[in-house]
Amino acid sequence: MMATSRSKTTPCFARDRNSDPPADFWARVDSQFRLQAELDRLWPVAEVETVLAGGRPATTANRRLQAVVSAFTTGYRAATFTATPDLGDVPRDLRGFAVEGAAMSFTLQGALEPPMTKLHDFAAAVPAHSFLVSIGAGVALGRLGRTPPDFEMAANPELGYILYDGWGFYEALFHSRRFLERRAVPQVDTESAAARAFDQGLGRGIWFRYNGDVRSVVESVSGFVAERRPDIWSGLGFAAAYAGGIDDASAVRLAAASDRVSAAVGASLATAVRLQSDESWEVTERIATAFSAVSPDHSLSLLARARATATGADVYLEWRDLIRRSLSPQTAPGSG
């Protein structure tokens, strides 16, 4: 029998085994391990998942919000190991949350090892998700215990105030006794746009903190002074529409108990953000309809108008105000 010749191809893992690694190889490996250890300390994923979604009955709403949390942590983990995370396997209706998680990870990495190059590169790679990148960066600032000193970490200058939204979201979930029960105010000018954005994020956090339970949500908001409720309701409208976790009947009950115009502003933003990223979801549209939100196309047309009359971070504020003005003739405020 003729002997077969052995392949002369060297397995890829064995090639150049006698060559020396680059001079800085081990230093880079050590730096990466230290960075990952610090990220694990700052944001222990298993513990966070327990805080956000653990220990609740297995209802349809709970399963949806648990899927949201899982998508967020998927993005966070992916960004821990690569500067170019591939989030294509995350379902489209959940991908925005994975983007938030990745943005949070990159922000923490930039804070630990400046500058914010990874965050800025990621934002440039996912321009359709700039709103959610900015939210994720704001959540990271909350975790770091830092208020946004400026807007350098926003995905684009128009979304600077969204950093405060992410910060408010974080405080509602992880310092709920202080910010939801004692109703503390953030360390910013209470009359400022930053405070309004913070309260919108607080509203989004309330949605997750109370797992989309209508009664608990309404009771929580009613405890705040009247001046803060519109922005909190806007955040709740955004969270209910964008994240889901509520059936149509509950959405109608929530809308009836809400500051309807404010909740509709948030829901209108949610549908526009989904359309902008090509991740429209029928549940978002149904809940937005329950709140009498404007259509996503109209919302984006109002964004174009805002860009024609405002610049920088004021664009977002003008966009919200244009949505509110377009809703006011159609929708009367509820009881709050």
In a domain, residue 188? The reply is: yes
Number of domains the chain is built from: 1
Which range of residues forms the domain containing residue 108? 35-327
Percentage with pLDDT > 70 across the chain: 82
In order of 185, 204, 212, 307, the CA distances from 320 in angstroms are: 22, 16, 24, 12
Helices 193-209 and 214-222 sit at what angle, rounded to 10 degrees? 150
Tell me: the pLDDT tens digits for 262-285? 999 999 999 999 999 999 999 999
Query: Would you say residue 182 lies in a domain?
Result: yes
Confidence of residue 292 (pLDDT cuts 50, 70, 90): very high
> Per the domain annotation, does 6 fall within a domain?
no
Mean of the pLDDT values across residues 221-246? 96
Provide mean pLDDT across the span 192-217: 93
Q: Does 8 map to a domain?
A: no
Is 303 a residue whose pLDDT tops 80? yes
23 within some domain = no
- On whether residue 116 sits in a domain, the answer given is yes
* Average pLDDT of every residue of the chain: 85
Q: What does the pLDDT read at residue 149? A: 64
Q: Is residue 13 part of a domain?
A: no
pLDDT, average across residues 200-228: 95
Identify the weakest region by mean pLDDT among 15-24, 124-133, 206-215, 239-248.
15-24
Residue 3: per-residue pLDDT: 45
User: Is 120 within the bounds of a domain?
Assistant: yes
Q: What is the pTM of this model?
A: 0.86
Q: For the packed helices 130-144 and 95-112, what is the interaxial angle rounded to 10 degrees?
A: 50
pLDDT above 80: residue 55: no
Percentage of the residues of the chain whose pLDDT score is greater than 90: 63
